[in-house]
Structure 1
Amino acid sequence: MNTVVEETKQSFSTLRNIAYMFTTFFTSLFYFVFLVTGIALGVGLSITIIGLPILAGVLRASRSFMAIEKALVGETYIHPVRNEIESFFAAIKTELTSTENWKNVAFLLASFPLGVVSFVLAITFTTVPLALICVPLFYKLIPVGVMINSEFRYEVDSLPEALVITGIGLLLAYVLWNALNYVATGMMKIVKAV
């Protein structure tokens, strides 16, 4: 009975990790576009008085983005709340000089390449095994084959051959989905460490 419960937990963990890897791409893309645009706009307009509040707002938003990232991995993000009322320019100075804000921005910008890699791995490592597993369903409708080089091509044209490909797909699913678990767990540890 315990093994069934453990296998169910492991399956749920795998699905959760795959979902996390897909989500990471979209959130990191949003963060990257928002932060690069906001920082460029704030720095570009800093000659005028308008640029500094924009830059301060972008830096403050980085805290909320880190809270979202921490929530995705099951952590709580705690940042200090200031109770004292500051003047407008003192609040801007506080945001611009906060090392926590700049650390958040650096992490969020660096998470974009990780998000792209995780998305590519998640797509590849889920679709290839699923396609191989489903070969017996469509091998008669669509030519299914493997081309190793320009001279050797193997085509699946019988049910036993399709079932062998399904077995290979199941083996790949086991190996690649465990690899995805390790990658997702590593990415979650990085977020927790920040």
Structure 2
Amino acid sequence: MSKLIIEAFKHFAFLMYTFASGLLYFIFFSVGITFGAGLSITLIGLPILAQVLKLAPKFANWDMMMKRKVLGSLLAEETPEHVSHDNRSSHGHAEESIKDVITSEKYWRIAGLLMFKLFIGLGSLLAGVILFIAPLMLFVTPFVYKFIEINVLTIKVDTFILALLVSIFACIWFGVSFLTSRKITQNIARYTNKMAV
């Protein structure tokens, strides 16, 4: 039982990490690319744009590392064999020209996938609230129904029996949530593997 709770906690942590990292990547790349492209008229923007794009593979490898760290052995079979664990070999050479970086489809593809992770992260936040926080709030109903007015689907919970039924429903909901979160986490892990370089 404790193994299932630990696995569910790892799924919840990965869903919340996906939201936070997706928001960070979207803000970083949208600001960096817009700033670099806007200043490209003065030629100062081209090195800025190139440096922002060079960070895309580093962020993708960071995501792979966090996936392995948070999920551990839960998704060990999901990791592609072609992923480089050496940061120096997967990010290109330092002498790579600005033109090569800006015209490289690889950098733009990874940056686009990282920016799209915002929408996956928003879905992860919604899934985390629905799958984990809502059943947890309903589970404590027998302890708080006397102090807080609780309505579940327009039914007022004002007796211990009704509060106990809501708590049992929360346990069933959490069991279904565990299976659903496993599938969602596997799909997000597959998406993270697409970014691997």
- 2:47 counterpart residue number: 53
TM-score calculated relative to the size of structure 2: 0.83
Q: 1:127-152 CA deviation, whole Å, 9 max, x = no partner?
A: 2111111001111111222344xxxx
2:132 partner letter = T
Q: 1:139-190 CA deviation, whole Å, 9 max, x = no partner?
A: 1111222344xxxxx2222222211111011001111222112111111112
Please, which runs of 5 or more residues in structure 1 have no aligned partner? 1-6, 149-153
TM-score calculated relative to the size of structure 1: 0.84
1:51 partner letter = G
- 1:144 counterpart residue number: 150
Instruction: Tell me how far apart the structure 2 counterparts of residues 157 and 17 of structure 1 sit (CA, whole Å).
Output: 33
Q: Give the 5 Å matches for 1:111-150.
A: 111-148=117-154
- Say whether residues 1:110 and 2:104 are aligned partners: no
Return 168-177 or 156-165, whichever deviates more: 156-165
**1:141 aligns to what SS in structure 2?**
coil
Q: CA deviation at 1:193?
A: 3.1
- Percent of pairs with identical residues: 27
- 1:192 counterpart residue number: 193
Q: CA deviation at 1:99?
A: 2.2
Q: 2:28 aligns with which of 28, 34, 42?
A: 34
Instruction: Tell me how far apart the structure 2 counterparts of residues 13 and 146 of structure 1 sit (CA, whole Å).
Output: 28
Q: CA deviation at 1:105?
A: 0.6
Alignment RMSD: 1.8
**Greater relative contact order: 1 or 2 (C-alpha under 8 angstroms, separation 6 or more)?**
2
Please, which runs of 5 or more residues in structure 2 have no aligned partner? 69-78
- Say whether residues 1:71 and 2:65 are aligned partners: yes
- 2:8 counterpart residue number: 14
Which protein has the larger Cα radius of gyration, Structure 1 or Structure 2? 1
Are the aligned partners of 1:73 and 1:192 in contact in 2 as well (CA < 8 Å)? no
- 2:71 counterpart residue number: none
- 2:75 counterpart residue number: none
